[in-house]
Amino acid sequence: MKKVEEPERYGRPACHAVEDGVLQYVSPSQVKTFDTVTGGCKRAWYYDKVMHFPRRQFKSQDVGKATHASIEHYLTTGENVLGPIALVGIEHLPVPKSLLKIEWPIYFIRPEQPLPGLGVKAPPAIPPELLRELEEQPRLVVPGLGSGDEGIPVIGFVDLIDLNDLARGRVVVIDHKTSSSIARYAKTAKELEKDPQSAAYLQFARLKWPGMSVYEFRHYYYQTHGARRFEPVVAPFNAGQVEAAWGRFCSTVHEMEEVAGMANPTDVPANDEACGSYGGCSFAGMCPASPGRRFHMSLMDRVKALNTAANAPETTSAPTSAPGGIPVKNAQAGQKYTLALGGADPLEFMAYTLNFCILQDAKGQVVRLPADTAVYPLGTPAAPAPVAPIAPVTSTVVSPSGVKVVITDVAEGVVPPDAATTEPAPGTPGAAPAKRTRKPKAEA
């Protein structure tokens, strides 16, 4: 099988979806992640798009990209480079090089005239005829939101739009899906009616090709494990149904803008039913709502209670720490720290939120520390007198879905008497959030 690389796309935005607490753009996959009606979790979206924490990558994603690239190459050129996963669906694919829109952008951003505040990654050269069509097509925008008359752009690429039945009043939008088990994970036609992708892609089709009697959304499923299998799932819409689905999509985006402006992930509602979806949530180790974290917090409460009972002083006095320690909330990005004075295992600052900080140790394990925990710059000399360590507690929890989650936490530390008491400067960890305003709009 010939290996096909995924080509560059026209007009990918160059900034984050959320910048300084302001929603800059959305995509159908973002809305799907956020929307609890379709199994999403608002807090997981917040960790990803607002706090910019990295998501875990799975081998299955590479298989999906390779399958998509081979189908795109086949439909564009007619050259059959389909591997065994995609080949089982070849009879259901339209004729290559017919009336098709392949990997089509629903919101085109030209490099010379980027969307104000967004910028654009440099795409490959665009043929003049294609450029003309892209510039003349409607742009998909969620109106209102109190962020200006321009609204919120909806960025995305449709896998396939089949226009071969356009003369008979039908537009078919197809989304290719790879799955380890079609029987277990494939959506039903009823579920596709509520899917954010169907709402966005069919609304784009309704604007670009108005007056159709049928706007059809399909999932083409290709099974990656066990026996090779293909399954189409079809959901037909009329124009009124598309408009209603688009209204629900816009309502969800309105809520996303409100959540984007929140200062704390713990204030964002979590959907604990989504913790085990798609191989397990990337943020389970830091989210208090995840089953593993709830178990761990209960364990930590017991550990702290035992420590308090065993070490309670006869007289109360202000706790102190060794010289050179600072509260972790005053840690600086790029600087490495340790918990134990003179220790060698580095902790690298990642993020600060409300009353705890998130760091990462040398092995990549995320560590969640109370904001006033004393940490020491790496290389700080050990004090002559011994310092009681703040011992981490590590536990492995198996979620109901069978996913192993390794949790690491520490008991609360103390603020050294010589620690700075002034508020951190804006933009540093622990500082109050800056006023959230949309990026200034440049002239086109």
- At residue 6, the 3 state secondary structure works out as coil
Considering all CA atoms of the chain, what is the largest pairwise distance in Å, rounded to the nearest integer? 88
| Lowest mean pLDDT across 235-244, 270-279, 341-350, 389-398 | 389-398
The full DSSP string for 42-66 is HHHHIIIIIS-PPPP--HHHHHHHH
Tokens of 27: 């995509």
List the one residue out of 207, 262, 209 whose CA is nearest residue 21. 262
pLDDT at 191 over 60: yes
**CA–CA separation, 154 vs 276, rounded Å?**
28
First to last CA, the chain: 45
pLDDT classification of 169: cutoffs 50, 70, 90: very high
pLDDT classification of 20: cutoffs 50, 70, 90: confident
pLDDT by residue (tens digit) across 97-112?
Answer: 999 999 999 988 765 5
Tokens of 74: 């086949």
* pTM of the model as a whole: 0.66
- At residue 23, the 3 state secondary structure works out as strand
pLDDT by residue (tens digit) across 324-334?
Answer: 778 877 777 66
| Lowest mean pLDDT across 222-231, 264-273, 311-320 | 311-320
On average, the pLDDT of the chain sits at 76
pLDDT at 143: 85
